[in-house]
Amino acid sequence: MTDSAIAARLREARINAGYETVMEACEAFGFKYATYAGHENGSRGVKADSLKRYATAFRVPIEWLLTGAQTALKPSHREAITTIPIYDIRASAGPGAMAEDGEPIGYQPYRQQELSRITRTAEDNLAVIRVAGDSMEPTLANADQVLVDRSVRKVGRDGIYIIALEDDLLVKRCQVDLQTRHIIVKSDNPAYETMTVTDAERMDVLGRVIWIGRVLG
């Protein structure tokens, strides 16, 4: 849809949220600059799903962006935003995927207030990794994003961990057998077998999953 009034309200929402320039908003929320700028200046049509994303980011009603049918926006203070790197390595929830280090392919924005409720670890320890496979369904689905605390390098309390096991990078539910001290590696999908790791040197713990981002199909 192309509507100069929608573009004007989008600009108003950005400024009201505390982002003086288009670039600031794009960097904070991971918007593509050319796409967002075109939506805001009215030179490019904008789809409903993009408007929903903008409404969520700027914390305004989607109905107001579409029609203006809401009370006037009140000035607000910009919330502190931090960005967490997204790596192009997929933690496989199925048969496994080779673990490859590399530069981040993007950044996921989080409100710092929200992030502080999730974890107390330093931001440098956090990374976002995408899940592939179905072995952790229904907890994790294919293409879900997980926020990982990379400072956790061993299985302590029961939880979901990113592990490197025999050249495979996996996301699995892990727990310690209190009698043998072996690591029990489980899938939430009952179609997959449970593994027991008896040799700690076979498995590296790369982090603990502390937040799940769900993809809605």
- Rounded to the nearest integer, the mean pLDDT of the chain is 84
CATH number for the domain harbouring residue 54:
1.10.260.40
**At 20, which helix (H) or strand (E)?**
none
28-58 per-position pLDDT tens digit:
888 999 999 999 998 988 988 899 999 988 8
Counted domains in the chain: 2
| Whole-number pLDDT of residue 98 | 42
Collapse the DSSP code of 11 into the 3-class scheme (helix H, G, I; strand E, B; otherwise coil) and give the result. Answer: helix
pLDDT at 1 over 60: no
Question: Is 147 in the same domain as 118?
Answer: yes
Collapse the DSSP code of 48 into the 3-class scheme (helix H, G, I; strand E, B; otherwise coil) and give the result. Answer: helix
Q: Which of 101-105, 192-196, 210-214 has the highest mean pLDDT?
A: 192-196
Collapse the DSSP code of 132 into the 3-class scheme (helix H, G, I; strand E, B; otherwise coil) and give the result. Answer: strand
Collapse the DSSP code of 81 into the 3-class scheme (helix H, G, I; strand E, B; otherwise coil) and give the result. Answer: strand
- pLDDT grade for 72, boundaries at 50, 70 and 90: low
pLDDT at 74 over 70: no
Structure tokens at 45: 């049509």
pLDDT at 80 over 80: no
Domain that holds residue 50: 4-67
Q: Is residue 171 part of a domain?
A: yes
Are 43 and 87 in contact by the 8 Å Cβ rule? The answer is: no
C-alpha torsion sign, points 20, 21, 26, 32: positive
Question: Is 103 in the same domain as 206?
Answer: yes
Structure tokens at 193: 């077998």
Q: Is residue 56 part of a domain?
A: yes
Question: Is 38 in the same domain as 135?
Answer: no
Give the contacts of 216 (CB within 8 A, at least 6 positions apart): none
Q: Which of 1-5, 62-66, 186-190 has the highest mean pLDDT?
A: 186-190
163-200 per-position pLDDT tens digit:
998 778 899 999 999 899 999 999 999 999 999 998 87
Q: Is residue 76 part of a domain?
A: no
